[in-house]
Chains A and B, each alone.
Chain A
Amino acid sequence: MIQLLANWILSFDILSGMGNSVAWGLSLFIVAALIFAFVAVNAIVLVYIERKVSAFMQVRLGPMRVGKFGTLQTVADALKLLQKEDIIPRSADKVLFIIGPWVILVASVVTFAAIPFSDTWLAANMNIGLFYVVSISSIVVLGIVMAGWASNNKWSLYGAMRSAAQIISYEIPVGITLIAVVAVVGSLNLQTIIQEQAGTGNLFHWIPIPLPNWFIFHSPFLFIAAFVYLIGATAEINRTPFDIPESESELVAGFMTEFSGLRWALFFLSEYANATLVAFLVSIVFLGGWQSPFADYQGTQIGFSIITLVAIMWTLFVRAKTGRLSVYPLGLSLVITISAWLFPGFAIWMASPGIFWMLMKAGSIIFMLMWFRWTFPRLRVDQLMYVSWKVILPLSLINLMGVAIWMWLTGEIQF
């Protein structure tokens, strides 16, 4: 993407005199700014959506006063946070206190450099993309420990220690789960991983249900691996039910306790950047990234017809069971299906890979994370360690072995 942008800049007659290296540097800066803008806007939008989702799950309305349906609530909150007094405790370690939030933010924003939004929208096409993302995102724990230690506060220190223990524990199953996928593809390049998942095929290669060639449908082991990765990643980004580093009822706000104003906003920004990163990674590794779930436009039409049928049946089932008529899923699927049959162009657009599908998949994963957050109670510290070391780690090891055996049995690899 950077080379494309540099070439595009050099294609103008006025700018062509600046030279290749200058154009490269300029486009590098532009791409970095774009990524940061995406992260910032994404956080503002996600905070609003999270508040609305939590409200709807708890039979509330959520923010309603600022803007229509409270849409400008988070913008107002962000403006308020920028104006707030920047308090640094007197007995805090000033240098670490200032650096800590920035380390966390940089670690979570820099990982987006390797995330392919579409086949061309990619800042850096690395051959070790997956490794880069996993390793850089673990630097977040360094910033958390810095912030917790520098605060000179027992709550902050406890939060930081818990966070360090948790992230280190869950790095292992998450890494092993990703290794299972890497074993299938034979590459750490994220673009290669996505391109491997093109087209449609049968479920688990032999069950005759036509499904896209995503790795979640590759084998039963990778199907489990997707959920194992989702659980481990939820723990890594410190979201409920694994939010013991910042558990409000025990440690005031964990490592964020002493932070206020802009520095606190940075924590929030990086939290949602990490959630988005995990969602992107799940959709890249297991859900086909920017690949469309439909092979061609006929597949789109048939696929949406099946979805509409399921929606009709579900609506009738809910109507028979509860007496309520919920028309939104049915209406949405009906509109898409009818337009897919009427306008082949729309169906072709739906069938073509692109950023739309990437954002759709990532968005549904983020919704899943929110769903987790507003459903599950928080785990105790010992339960957290139990889940990590005794359940998820053995499961991921079994998955790794199972995937290898599966590929040998199906003949994907030969010795």
Chain B
Amino acid sequence: MSYFSNISSAITTLVDGMKVTMGYFVRPREHVTLQYPDEVWPIPTRNIGVGEIESYNTIRSKLVVDFEDCIGCKACERACPVDCIDIETFKAGPDEDIGTTKNDTKIKLRVTSFTIDMSECMFCDLCTHPCPEDCIHMTPDYQFISNDNVKLDVTPEERWRDRNHLIYQFSKVSPIERAQRQAEAEKVAAAKAAAMEAKKAAAEKAAATKAAQEAREAEQAQTAAATPEGIGVPIAPSISETPVVQTEPVPVSTPTVESASEPEPMEKIEVPLETISTPEIPEVKPVTTETAAEPETQTEPEDSSKGETENG
């Protein structure tokens, strides 16, 4: 008898199953797959207490730079905890007019490259606050799919790497102009280095003749031999990294600690020049101190406004 009960139970269970599937077939489809490129979930909004600034009250996602307002101060690059921002600047000539920002600040540095590596960015928002011109900010755009990557000014060999690393280039300077600037700066640096070498050679010669004279004269040979080696030997072959170590003690004497680290990234080519030509250091300093001072003065009122809005 289990034979017939098996058959009847098979029929009833099959009919039950068919009822279920037919129910789903006829039912209007309410909760189904999101058709992603056509439909998008609404971005959640929240109030984190910053006030009316809309971009702060949404989720923080893609970093965007309004490049027209960037003055190349590198405040954001220094603030970034993961070093995903990379800025390359060249000093403009004294009578060149590059333009002004929306805050009527005169731009003194040519920003030839402003890249943000979005694969490393951790969306901490720390870079947006130090910016003196409010030109770098986070947007709620979380979709990193775009054709903008194609505009990257990289060689075809590097493009694959950059696609992988989601590096965004914000600088409007063309690659050709950038190469020109780099070449110019290298030329200037080479000229200065050559001038310095000549100066050094002269100094060496003088020292050598002096030493020879002194050796001929008599017993003070030890002190005379030590001085030419200390100055001449490491610098003569090429522009090596050792001068950087020598520069560090020089800016330490300046009042703030922030400005101490500035001269290194500011002008990479000028760094070796500073090593020996001491008169050039004061020329660089005013630029760095200005840029370092501006974010400090501007972030303070922001903080105070935050406090007001919170209280209000």
A residues in contact with B32, CB < 8 Å: 59-61
> B245 at interface (Cβ–Cβ under 8 A)?
no
**Does B25 lie within 8 Å of A57, measured CB to CB?**
yes
**Does B25 lie within 8 Å of A53, measured CB to CB?**
yes
B residues in contact with A324, CB < 8 Å: 27-28
- Known interface pairs A56-B24, A58-B24, A59-B24; A375-B18 also in contact (CB < 8 Å): yes
Within 8 A of A (CB), among B19-64: 20-22, 24-29, 31-33, 35
- Docked Cα-Cα span, A374 to B23, in Å, equals 13
- Known interface pairs A61-B35, A64-B35, A391-B7; A375-B20 also in contact (CB < 8 Å): yes
A365 to B: closest C-beta gap in Å: 15
**Does B35 lie within 8 Å of A57, measured CB to CB?**
no
> Looking across the interface, which residue of chain A has its beta carbon closest to that of B15?
A375
Contact of B14 among A57, A60, A376, A391 (CB under 8 A): A376
> B94 at interface (Cβ–Cβ under 8 A)?
no
> Looking across the interface, which residue of chain B has its beta carbon closest to that of A56?
B25
> Looking across the interface, which residue of chain A has its beta carbon closest to that of B19?
A375
B215 to A: closest C-beta gap in Å: 85
> B286 at interface (Cβ–Cβ under 8 A)?
no
> B255 at interface (Cβ–Cβ under 8 A)?
no
Q: How many residues of B contact A (CB 8 A)?
A: 18
- Docked Cα-Cα span, A60 to B34, in Å, equals 10
- Known interface pairs A57-B21, A371-B18, A375-B20; A326-B27 also in contact (CB < 8 Å): yes
B residues in contact with A59, CB < 8 Å: 24, 29, 31-32
- Known interface pairs A376-B14, A391-B7; A61-B20 also in contact (CB < 8 Å): no
* A361-379 vs B, Cβ < 8 Å mask (1 yes, 0 no): 0000000000110111000
B292 to A: closest C-beta gap in Å: 54
**Does A326 lie within 8 Å of B25, measured CB to CB?**
no
B residues in contact with A326, CB < 8 Å: 26-28
- Known interface pairs A56-B24, A57-B24; A375-B29 also in contact (CB < 8 Å): no
Within 8 A of B (CB), among A159-189: none
> B17 at interface (Cβ–Cβ under 8 A)?
yes
> Looking across the interface, which residue of chain A has its beta carbon closest to that of B35?
A64
> Looking across the interface, which residue of chain B has its beta carbon closest to that of A372?
B18
**Does B29 lie within 8 Å of A61, measured CB to CB?**
yes
Within 8 A of A (CB), among B256-286: none
> Looking across the interface, which residue of chain A has its beta carbon closest to that of B26?
A326
Contact of A371 among B7, B22, B28, B29 (CB under 8 A): B22
Within 8 A of A (CB), among B202-223: none
* B4-21 vs A, Cβ < 8 Å mask (1 yes, 0 no): 000100000010011011
- Docked Cα-Cα span, A64 to B35, in Å, equals 8
> Looking across the interface, which residue of chain A has its beta carbon closest to that of B30?
A59
> Looking across the interface, which residue of chain A has its beta carbon closest to that of B20?
A375
- Known interface pairs A60-B33, A391-B7; A375-B28 also in contact (CB < 8 Å): no
- Docked Cα-Cα span, A60 to B18, in Å, equals 17
- Docked Cα-Cα span, A53 to B27, in Å, equals 12
B residues in contact with A374, CB < 8 Å: 21
A326 to B: closest C-beta gap in Å: 5
- Docked Cα-Cα span, A326 to B7, in Å, equals 34
**Does B17 lie within 8 Å of A375, measured CB to CB?**
yes
- Docked Cα-Cα span, A59 to B31, in Å, equals 8
- Docked Cα-Cα span, A217 to B194, in Å, equals 109
B45 to A: closest C-beta gap in Å: 29
Within 8 A of A (CB), among B59-108: none
B residues in contact with A376, CB < 8 Å: 14, 17
B residues in contact with A58, CB < 8 Å: 24
> Looking across the interface, which residue of chain A has its beta carbon closest to that of B38?
A64
B residues in contact with A53, CB < 8 Å: 25
A residues in contact with B14, CB < 8 Å: 375-376
Within 8 A of B (CB), among A51-81: 53, 56-61, 64
A residues in contact with B18, CB < 8 Å: 371-372, 375
B residues in contact with A375, CB < 8 Å: 14, 17-18, 20-21
A334 to B: closest C-beta gap in Å: 17
A residues in contact with B17, CB < 8 Å: 375-376
Q: Which of B22, B24, B25, B31 has the most CB of A within 10 A?
A: B25
- Docked Cα-Cα span, A372 to B25, in Å, equals 13
- Docked Cα-Cα span, A329 to B26, in Å, equals 9
- Docked Cα-Cα span, A390 to B26, in Å, equals 36
A398 to B: closest C-beta gap in Å: 13
- Docked Cα-Cα span, A390 to B4, in Å, equals 11
* A13-26 vs B, Cβ < 8 Å mask (1 yes, 0 no): 00000000000000
* A387-400 vs B, Cβ < 8 Å mask (1 yes, 0 no): 00011000000000
A residues in contact with B26, CB < 8 Å: 326, 328-329
B1 to A: closest C-beta gap in Å: 15
**Does A371 lie within 8 Å of B33, measured CB to CB?**
no
A67 to B: closest C-beta gap in Å: 14
B165 to A: closest C-beta gap in Å: 30
A321 to B: closest C-beta gap in Å: 10
B55 to A: closest C-beta gap in Å: 33
B residues in contact with A57, CB < 8 Å: 21-22, 24-25
- By a beta-carbon cutoff of 8 Å, the part of chain A in contact with chain B is 53, 56-61, 64, 324, 326, 328-329, 371-372, 374-376, 390-391
For the complex of A and B, 4 pairs with smallest distance between CB atoms: A375-B21, A57-B21, A375-B17, A56-B25
Given contacts A53-B25, A56-B24, list 17 more A-B pairs with CB under 8 A: A58-B24, A59-B29, A59-B31, A61-B29, A61-B32, A64-B35, A324-B27, A328-B26, A329-B26, A371-B22, A371-B25, A372-B18, A375-B21, A376-B14, A376-B17, A390-B3, A391-B7
Sample 7 A-B pairs with CB under 8 A, ordered by A number.
A56-B24, A57-B25, A326-B28, A328-B26, A371-B21, A371-B22, A371-B25
